[in-house]
Amino acid sequence: MGIKGFQGTSLLDFPGRIASLIFWGGCNLTCPFCHNPALVLDPESWPDLDPDALLGDLAGRTSFIDGVVVTGGEPTLDPALGDWLAAVKTLGLAVKLDTNGLRPDVLAGLLARRLVDRLAIDLKTSPARYGQLHAGPVAFAGLTTSVRLALAAPVTVEFRTTCVPGLIDEPDLRELGELVYGAPLWVLQQYHPAAALAPDWRDVAPYAPAKMASLAAVAREYVGEVVVKGL
- Using CB under 6 A, list all residues that contact ligand SF4: 27, 29-31, 34, 36, 40, 72-74, 100
User: Cβ 33 to ligand SF4, closest distance in Å?
Assistant: 7
Q: Please give the C-alpha separations between residue 132 and each of 124, 166, 170, 177, 220, in angstroms, as whole numbers.
A: 10, 10, 18, 20, 26
Closer to ligand SF4 by CB, 134 or 174: give it.
134
Distance separating alpha carbons of residues 198 and 150, to the nearest angstrom:
30
Where do runs of H (alpha helix) occur along the chain? 37-41, 51-59, 81-90, 104-112, 141-152, 170-179, 209-219
User: Cβ 32 to ligand SF4, closest distance in Å?
Assistant: 9
Closer to ligand SF4 by CB, 128 or 195: give it.
195
Closer to ligand SF4 by CB, 65 or 179: give it.
179
Query: Is the separation of the CB atoms in 110 and 70 below 8 Å?
Result: no
User: Cβ 61 to ligand SF4, closest distance in Å?
Assistant: 25
| φ, ψ at 186 (rounded to 5°) | -130, 120
User: Cβ 231 to ligand SF4, closest distance in Å?
Assistant: 19
Closer to ligand SF4 by CB, 93 or 138: give it.
138
